[in-house]
Structure 1
Amino acid sequence: MRPDYDPLDDPPWAMQLVVRAEKTDPPGHGAVCEAAATAVLRLLTDPRAAEPDGEWRAAVHAWESRRIRKVTRRARGVRWPEVQALPGVTVEHDGAQVRAFVPGPVSDVPPELARLQVAGLDLAETDPKPPPGPPYAAITLNPGVTMTTGKAAAQCGHAAQLLLRQGGRADVAAWIEAGARVHLTRDVPWSRCVRDATVAVRDGGFTEVPPGTMTAIARLL
């Protein structure tokens, strides 16, 4: 048996994230990370996922009962409109477009998603925008860990999800009511962010970084 085997993760499930990344005028790294986190939140708080009789509720529950894996893929050209027909939520933010899809088994990914490339999405950073007015989620990526944009987007999605599930009930409710805004913090020392964090993401070690690596943290402001 593998040393990292977890019976609760058998079979493994994942939420697929697709980033629109055209060859001309691609989105910025930070904008994709923020859009990915927002897309995850929008899907999880959508009535189809959040209401007891919602059509996505069973799939989301089955996924959250396992490791909350996320797989980031990229689409361009005709591939982007093709995936819009699959169940999910698309977010447009600061020039980035990301769609989060209803989770499912990693062995049964729809062909429209399976044909999209997973590795190698690494976008340039652009000038960051100022943070929105509160309430918003401040997410910080570990500056000591090298990650592609695809990996970083998944980690931001994890951080937003953990904050949604583990943050204070009243604070989370106010955040969601205000639009579930997300901001990727870049100008605060990592040590201070960790000290003030509500949630921390520790990676499973399946791609790019060793298992247990703290990749991202988040808190509500």
Structure 2
Amino acid sequence: MRPDHAPFVDPLDDPPWAMQLVVRAEKADPPNHGAVCEAAAAAVVRLLTDPRAAEPGGEWHDAVREWESRRIRKVTRRARGVRWPEAEALPGVTVGHAGAQVRAFPPCPVQDVPPELAKLQVAGLDLADADEPGPPPAPPYAAIALNPDVTITTGKAAAQCGHAAQLLLRKGRRKHVAEWVESGAAVHLVRDVPWRSCVKQSTVAVRDGGFTEVPPGTMTAVAWLVRK
């Protein structure tokens, strides 16, 4: 038997793996909250559907499979100045959207995060939203809504939107997901629809693991595909 004093080790988190997301956040011209969330979600999908991740034998394929067999974690970091080109020099996928730039990196054990990323700040990324969010893109696109009753930072929200987009990619109807991905995997953060209505029409829901900011099991985000 396990001694009473020995800590419980969850086999799904031994060792923990995470996908790193890096947001470019320059002091002089920071992006807005919604644009970062949308760019982060799109970056996650584009990395997961990149041939390097999606095709057997691809250089990221085994890492993605290992990560998805565990508890899905994403860590959002911020970079500015010279730190951004240092991050962009590492393998990954960058999405630029509405003034925001987010780069997703192949998942790895948290202790093996490249030093260029490990030194980037995790906590404290909290950005203002746009005064007037832009209209939704032309369908098909992923609609993502964040729970308005849960207070989280921009960094946490970006990770939750990435989770929602990943669940939609994996659990949505195959034909509809293929149409969305083939058209560019556009994402729209829904703000003008009541949360209850969003939950009712959603295909997937994110319930947080409780590692940061919110209690475990909190429903933080939902997502669904909007088609023509």
User: Could you tell me which amino acid in structure 1 is paired with residue 147 of structure 2?
Assistant: N
Please state whether the residue corresponding to 1:107 is helix, strand or coil: helix
Which of 153, 156, 159 lines up with 1:151 in the alignment?
A: 156
User: Could you tell me which amino acid in structure 2 is paired with residue 148 of structure 1?
Assistant: T
What does residue 184 of structure 2 align with? 179
Which of 121, 126, 141 lines up with 1:117 in the alignment?
A: 121
What does residue 202 of structure 2 align with? 197
Which of 55, 80, 87 lines up with 2:84 in the alignment?
A: 80
Which of 219, 222, 227 lines up with 1:214 in the alignment?
A: 219
Q: How many residues align?
A: 220
Residues 97-139 of structure 1, C-alpha deviations (whole Å, 9 max, x = no match): 0000010001111100011000000000002100011110000
TM-score by length of 2: 0.95
What does residue 25 of structure 2 align with? 21
Residues 136-177 of structure 1, C-alpha deviations (whole Å, 9 max, x = no match): 000000000000000000000000000000000000011011
Deviation for aligned residue 1:9:
2.1
Take 2:218 and 2:144, find their aligned partners in 1: how far apart are those partners?
Answer: 16
Matches within 5 A, 1:39-118: 39-118=43-122
TM-score by length of 1: 0.98
Please state whether the residue corresponding to 1:216 is helix, strand or coil: strand
Moved over 4 A (4+): none
What does residue 3 of structure 2 align with? none
User: Could you tell me which amino acid in structure 1 is paired with residue 176 of structure 2?
Assistant: D
Deviation for aligned residue 1:190:
0.2
Take 2:177 and 2:211, find their aligned partners in 1: how far apart are those partners?
Answer: 30
User: Could you tell me which amino acid in structure 1 is paired with residue 155 of structure 2?
Assistant: G
Gaps of 5+ in 2: 1-5
Take 2:82 and 2:180, find their aligned partners in 1: how far apart are those partners?
Answer: 35
Q: Identity of counterpart residues, as a percentage?
A: 79
Gaps of 5+ in 1: none
Q: Based on CA coordinates, which of the two structures has the bigger radius of gyration?
A: 2
